[in-house]
């Protein structure tokens, strides 16, 4: 059983999900604008695994879509059980704890079921790309090339959407699914620790990897402050360094893994070295004792950290900390209660090769065997509309530009604790500064790294064995290489 802690009155869940097309069609059957005859009717099915993230949103969307197109019927299939949400009060604060009983086997069963139905020419019309192996679906020709739809549909205007996000999806000559929203990670630096003459190396217009920041910070490190707010092990520093080099370890386009020759063992040993040197905290926090965790959150921040990793949703804090009606706790998500008053933006998180990735929460592809692809595409377009993109269920940044701009102001007001009243001069200036920084950071995004959830599960398991001391780095690497080779050859 896993428990996740949520710090707001609503649930914001971040999922990082983790090709030429085959002979089944992959959109090639769409030969011209005649396909889009505005005959939106018939029955379609949308299949998702993650009920918590998708169910309420899709059921609401289906109801509204059917009102617009009375001849259409949208069925929603969800497979994971809705988690149980418990609320408790600790020191005057309400904490929501979500108990998720989903098991790896249940995910495997769902993936196998989807594959079997698709290979038989059946299955749902639309699939959520939550846990499905996107690369395998693309390679088998099981997904429509949505680039054809966007190009040939006169009712779709690309300029209404964040074009760099859509273009970042291009893989093996096509765009195979459509995210509804996106988010990114960025780094902050403590300006009280970084010499002022080095400040030019940082800013909202910069893209930096964790390794670059390690290289920058080591000469300044004197042991009195940690380099990162990240902890050691699989839940902290390791995934940042690993994800920034994911394509060098797992090349899904060629179907090859490269753990042994790619320096995976060295990466594991580097994380242990960083812990031993005191750059990061060695142990990971246990979330079992909520009261103890809340006590840490209520303590006065006492630690300074050179660099901190954060996500785009929390970027607002950088611009409202001096004017908000409540103050950010400075809780780092690990064992440190960090001081954030002097934090500035270091840059957006980049991959080791310099590309800048994004992640998404909600994304959909069309089954190439669908008998009603036009209605399926119409439903995806509806999910991209301003009406649905401003839904309370669409977290982070909507792909629809108009919806994104509206949501930015809504979120800014929410963080300030202001509803409909007019913003004063300081608040307006803070929002303008926030929007400018957000635009600069988002404008650098240029890639989407396709992951394979099954390989990621292998990595999580074996890496945990390494950090628990069960196996050394070389043994861990050999086992991973063998497992990944077997899986990718299937």
Ranking 28-32, 60-64, 277-281, 395-399 by mean pLDDT, the lowest is 28-32
Residue pair 372/42 in contact (Cβ under 8 Å)? The answer is yes
Q: Over the stretch 362-421, which tens digit does the pLDDT of each residue have? A: 999 999 999 999 999 999 999 999 999 999 888 899 999 999 999 999 999 988 888 788
Question: Per the domain annotation, does 333 fall within a domain?
Answer: no
Q: Is residue 322 part of a domain?
A: no
Residue 54 lies in a domain: yes
Tell me whether strands 250-251 and 226-228 are parallel, antiparallel or unpaired.
unpaired
In a domain, 232, yes or no: no
E runs forming strands in 7-148:
42-48, 72-78, 84-90, 93-100, 126-128
**CATH number of the structural domain spanning residue 147:** 3.40.190.10
**Most confident by average pLDDT, 36-40, 60-64, 154-158, 227-231:** 60-64
Would you list the DSSP string of 72-83?
EEEEEEE-SPPP
Query: Residue 28 falls within a domain, yes or no?
Result: yes
Q: How far apart are CA 23 and CA 31, in angstroms?
A: 16
Domain that holds residue 161: 20-78+103-183+359-396
> What's the mean pLDDT in 227-241?
81
Count of the separate structural domains present in the chain = 1
Give domain status of residue 53, yes or no.
yes
Q: Which of 104-113, 332-341, 383-392 has the highest mean pLDDT?
A: 383-392
The strand ranges marked E within 68-198 are 72-78, 84-90, 93-100, 126-128, 178-179, 181-182, 185-190
Q: Is residue 129 part of a domain?
A: yes
Continuous segment of H or E residues that includes residue 205 = none
- Name residues whose C-beta falls within 8 Å of residue 468's C-beta, 6 or more positions apart in sequence: none
In this structure, the chain runs to a length of 490
User: Whole-angstrom distance between the N-terminal and C-terminal Cα of the chain?
Assistant: 30
Q: What is the distance between the alpha carbons of residues 255 and 251, in angstroms, rounded to a whole number?
A: 6
- Say how far apart CA 302 and CA 285 lie, in whole Å: 17
468 inside domain: no
Lowest mean pLDDT among 124-128, 143-147, 420-424: 420-424
Q: What is the pLDDT of residue 7?
A: 32
Higher-pLDDT residue of 280 and 293 is 280
Question: Which range among 438-442, 454-458, 468-472 has the greatest average pLDDT?
Answer: 438-442
pLDDT above 70 as % of the chain: 80
Q: How confident is the model at residue 316 (pLDDT cuts 50, 70, 90)?
A: very high
Q: What is the mean pLDDT of the chain?
A: 84
């Amino acid at each position: 059983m896993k428990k996740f802690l949520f710090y707001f009155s609503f649930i914001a869940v971040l999922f990082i999900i983790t090709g030429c097309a085959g002979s089944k069609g992959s959109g090639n059957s769409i030969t011209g604008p005649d396909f889009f005859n505005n005959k939106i009717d018939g029955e379609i099915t949308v299949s998702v695994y993650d009920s918590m993230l998708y169910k309420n949103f899709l059921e609401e969307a289906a109801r509204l879509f059917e009102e617009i197109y009375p001849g259409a019927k949208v069925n929603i299939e969800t497979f994971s059980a809705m988690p149980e949400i418990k609320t408790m009060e600790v020191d005057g604060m309400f904490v929501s704890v979500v108990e998720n009983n989903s098991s790896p086997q249940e995910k495997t069963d769902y993936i196998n079921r989807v594959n079997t139905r698709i290979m038989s020419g059946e299955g749902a019309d639309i699939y959520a790309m939550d846990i499905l192996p996107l690369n395998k679906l693309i390679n088998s020709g099981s997904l429509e090339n949505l680039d054809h739809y966007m190009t040939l549909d006169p009712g779709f205007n690309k300029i209404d959407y964040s074009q760099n996000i859509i273009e970042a999806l291009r893989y093996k000559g096509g765009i195979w699914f459509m995210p509804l929203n996106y988010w990114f990670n960025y780094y902050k630096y403590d300006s009280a620790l970084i010499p002022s003459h080095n400040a030019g190396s940082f800013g909202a217009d910069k893209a930096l990897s964790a390794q670059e920041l390690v290289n920058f910070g080591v000469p300044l490190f004197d042991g009195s402050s940690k380099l990162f707010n990240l902890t050691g092990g699989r839940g902290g520093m390791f995934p940042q360094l690993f994800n920034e080099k994911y394509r060098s370890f797992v090349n899904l386009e060629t179907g090859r893994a490269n753990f042994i020759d790619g320096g995976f063992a060295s990466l594991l040993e580097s994380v242990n070295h960083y812990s031993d040197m005191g750059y990061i905290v060695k142990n990971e926090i246990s979330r079992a004792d909520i009261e103890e965790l809340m006590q840490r959150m209520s303590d006065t921040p006492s630690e300074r950290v050179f660099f901190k990793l954060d996500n785009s949703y929390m970027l607002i804090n950088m611009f409202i900390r001096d004017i908000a009606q409540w103050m950010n706790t400075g809780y780092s998500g690990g064992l440190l209660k960090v001081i954030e008053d002097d934090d500035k933006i270091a840059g957006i998180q980049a991959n080791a090769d310099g590309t800048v990735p994004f992640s998404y929460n909600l994304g959909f592809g069309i089954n190439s065997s669908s008998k009603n692809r036009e209605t399926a595409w119409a439903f995806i377009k509806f999910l991209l509309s301003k009406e649905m993109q401003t839904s309370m269920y669409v977290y982070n940044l909507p792909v629809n530009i108009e919806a994104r701009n509206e949501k930015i102001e809504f979120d800014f007001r929410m963080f300030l604790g202001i509803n409909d009243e007019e913003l004063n001069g300081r608040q307006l200036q803070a929002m303008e500064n926030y929007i400018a920084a957000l635009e600069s950071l988002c404008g650098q995004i240029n890639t989407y790294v396709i992951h394979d959830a099954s390989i990621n599960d292998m990595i999580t398991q074996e890496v945990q064995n390494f950090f628990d001391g069960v196996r050394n780095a070389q043994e861990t690497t050999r086992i991973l290489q063998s497992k990944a080779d077997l899986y990718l050859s299937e």
